[in-house]
Amino acid sequence: MQLSQTAAIVIQANQVVCANLTAQQVGIQSGMNLSSAYSLCENLTIFERQTKTELQALEKIALMIYQYSSQVVIQAEQVIFAEVGKSQTLYNGLLPLLAQIISQLTQHSYQYQLALACTIEAAEVLSFHTQYQQTLPQAIDHPITDNKNIIYQHSLKQLEQLSIEYLNLPEYCIEKILSVGIKKIGELKKIENHAINKRFGIKVAKYLKQLYQKKSQPINYFSPPLHFYQKQAFSDVIYYKNGLTQAIVLLIKQLCRFLRVHQQSAQQLNWLLFDTEKQTLGFQVLLTHAQINQPGYIELTQLSLERFTLHSPIEAIALKVEKFCELNGSSNEFFQQESFLKSHHFINKIQSKLGENSCYHWQINNQHLPEKKQSLTPLINSLETAENLITNTSKSELSSPKKPRPSWLFAKPQAAYIIQKQLAWHGKMTIISTVERISSDWWEQAESRDYYVAYHESGVYYWVFFDHKKKSWFVHGIFC
């Protein structure tokens, strides 16, 4: 809910599911029945719960956070987890990283409660502890501090002071623990695991192991779907086309974020307008350039909208994109004529004119590091080699990589640097993609790199990586 002045609640089966800040200030709480809520506030705006819309909102938030962490988890109906430890170096500390996430949530008027812990279970429990956020020590902002140890010790201390009722366990388990006089999590932690298993059951024992990082659990990470659909409902109906501008800008911003995460470009924007007569007005915006252009999308949408007349007030607007293309497409073939490429005598003619060692081809190597993955190999003078070259090249990952790959790699990665907390190499650069981890040579010299696509202030896109072994940034390639 994005209402700030009017008291508003979401109900299900005549019970309050959640209330905005204004409603909470007059005493309305989750679990209260509707008549009780009305007795506390007569001017109450009511929304029926829509679980499908809630899931869509969670996915929208997860996609928003995905640009800061590639390990995001949607759990239950109101909880999202993100692993932020590996991203803090890029943002010069943990608190600047959290400030970016908080800024995104605030811009979209989401109510939230943040918590930091070393396990998913502990973070979930602490997120319901309203005072936890203020107690987080400022020391975690120091770039050389052992953040993981500080967060672990701090979360451990906070957990031990919380009531057993905060634990994410079935109600019968909570009642069983409380019945023996144990009221705080710290008191339960002092009991040996085998004793907990015997007195309260294996479910409680297993949960406590996960809570204190003694046992991991399988995790289903959020994976951004390759389809886009977002709908924006209005609290008051819109009578004029100019009133749609703010919602159009918001939806296009969300689309551009989605496209950057996937490194895709939209081929067509499909807009849907839902009016009070339950009619839907739809129009399309065709795109001819494979690039992400937020101002251009907005301008083209507004120009397309001018051709239509609104016959009824608009209740909601939606943006849907179903057709995508690679943002960084593969290079064009040097020779366009297929018959010429398949000529059995083509390679022989070249070698006859220029010498036996004049023809080379790119050979794909069984390596992970980009500079070792391909090498130039002399082309043997044979018909079979020529046919295999044409067939294998079209099937190789060089021609259609699953991940964005630059058109040119530097012979040697160029050292980049940090200026005023921003990545730079002959000018400032901005990270625009999610991380791609590439590791190799563990049996010799272990290599571990985090690759990103970076936008240079000159307008060029570069392929950059952070070397975990050298603790430094490098520029490795150029996108044409």
Is residue 249 within 8 A of residue 298, CB to CB? The reply is: yes
Q: Is the pLDDT of residue 139 over 60?
A: no
Q: Say whether both 438 and 302 belong to one domain.
A: no
Q: Is the pLDDT of residue 1 over 50?
A: no
Instruction: For residue 326, give the H/E element and its range.
Output: strand 324-326
What is the DSSP secondary structure assignment for residue 430, as one 8-state letter? E
Q: Is the pLDDT of residue 480 over 80?
A: no
What value does the mean pLDDT take over residues 166-181? Answer: 90
How many C-beta atoms surround the C-beta of residue 82 within 10 A? 19
Tokens of residue 18, six digits? 């959640």
Across the chain, mean pLDDT equals 79
Q: Say whether both 45 and 81 belong to one domain.
A: no
**How far is the CA of 147 from the CAs of 9, 57, 101, 139, in angstroms?**
39, 31, 18, 8
User: Is 203 inside a domain boundary?
Assistant: yes
User: Is 262 inside a domain boundary?
Assistant: yes
Q: For residue range 387-419, list pLDDT tens digits in order.
A: 454 444 444 444 444 677 887 888 889 999 888
User: Is 1 inside a domain boundary?
Assistant: no
User: Is 216 inside a domain boundary?
Assistant: no
Closest by alpha carbon to 233, among 470, 2, 464?
2
Amino acid identity, position 188: L
Q: Report the C-alpha gap between 328 and 332 in whole angstroms.
A: 12
Q: Say whether both 344 and 307 belong to one domain.
A: no
pLDDT-derived band at 358 (thresholds 50, 70, 90) equals low
Confidence (pLDDT) at 386: 43
Percent of residues, the chain, with pLDDT higher than 70: 79
Confidence (pLDDT) at 239: 92
Phi, psi for residue 389 in degrees, rounded to 5: -60, -45
pLDDT-derived band at 471 (thresholds 50, 70, 90) equals confident
Amino acid identity, position 255: L
Burial of 261 (C-beta count, 10 Å sphere; 0-12/13-18/19+): middle
Amino acid identity, position 243: G
Q: Is the pLDDT of residue 318 over 90?
A: yes
Confidence (pLDDT) at 114: 83
Three-state secondary structure call for residue 269? strand
CATH code of residue 322:
3.30.1490.100
Q: Is the pLDDT of residue 296 over 90?
A: no
Confidence (pLDDT) at 366: 67
Number of domains in the chain: 5
Q: Say whether both 234 and 376 belong to one domain.
A: no
Q: Say whether both 189 and 158 belong to one domain.
A: yes
Domain boundary among 395, 417, 437: 395
CATH code of residue 43:
3.40.1170.60
Domain boundary among 348, 371, 395: 395
Closest by alpha carbon to 290, among 342, 330, 252, 235?
330
Amino acid identity, position 95: L
Three-state secondary structure call for residue 384? helix
Is residue 312 within 8 A of residue 281, CB to CB? The reply is: no
Beta strand 44-48 with 7-12 is parallel
Q: Report the C-alpha gap between 440 and 427 in whole angstroms.
A: 30
Is residue 155 within 8 A of residue 126, CB to CB? The reply is: yes
Q: For residue range 212-264, list pLDDT tens digits in order.
A: 876 667 778 887 778 889 999 998 899 999 999 999 999 999 899 888 878 88
Percent of residues, the chain, with pLDDT higher than 90: 18
Is residue 341 within 8 A of residue 253, CB to CB? The reply is: no
Q: For residue range 117-138, list pLDDT tens digits in order.
A: 888 888 888 888 766 655 554 4
Q: Report the C-alpha gap between 28 and 360 in whole angstroms.
A: 75
Q: Say whether both 133 and 252 belong to one domain.
A: no
Is residue 270 within 8 A of residue 334, CB to CB? The reply is: no
Interaxial angle between packed helices 171-178 and 202-211, expressed in degrees from 0 to 180 and rounded to the nearest 10: 90
User: Is 455 inside a domain boundary?
Assistant: yes
Is residue 316 within 8 A of residue 274, CB to CB? The reply is: yes
Unique residue bearing structure tokens 């079935």: 170
Q: Is the pLDDT of residue 275 over 60?
A: yes
Q: Is the pLDDT of residue 315 over 80?
A: yes
Q: Say whether both 62 and 180 belong to one domain.
A: yes
Q: Report the C-alpha gap between 71 and 83 in whole angstroms.
A: 6
User: Is 402 inside a domain boundary?
Assistant: no
Q: For residue range 412-456, list pLDDT tens digits in order.
A: 899 998 888 889 999 999 888 888 888 776 555 678 888 999 999
Domain boundary among 303, 326, 349: 326
**How far is the CA of 12 from the CAs of 7, 30, 112, in angstroms?**
17, 11, 21
Q: 117-131, 327-341, 374-388: which has the minimum mean pLDDT? A: 327-341
Q: Can you spell out the DSSP letters for 29-89?
A: -TT-BHHHHHHH-SSEEEEE--HHHHHHHHHHHHHHHHTT-S-EEEETTTEEEE--GGGTT
Confidence (pLDDT) at 314: 93
Amino acid identity, position 35: S
Phi, psi for residue 269 in degrees, rounded to 5: -100, 130
Q: Report the C-alpha gap between 219 and 290 in whole angstroms.
A: 35
Q: Say whether both 36 and 70 belong to one domain.
A: no
Q: Say whether both 369 and 412 belong to one domain.
A: no
Q: Say whether both 320 and 205 belong to one domain.
A: no
User: Is 280 inside a domain boundary?
Assistant: yes
Q: Can you spell out the DSSP letters for 167-204?
A: S-S-HHHHHHHHTTT--BHHHHHTS-HHHHHHHH-HHH
User: Is 333 inside a domain boundary?
Assistant: no
Amino acid identity, position 228: F
Closest by alpha carbon to 115, among 137, 97, 131, 133?
133
Phi/psi zone of residue 278: left (φ > 0), alpha (ψ -120 to 50 degrees), beta?
left
Tokens of residue 159, six digits? 């957990």
Q: Say whether both 173 and 266 belong to one domain.
A: no
Domain that holds residue 467: 408-479
Q: Say whether both 69 and 180 belong to one domain.
A: yes
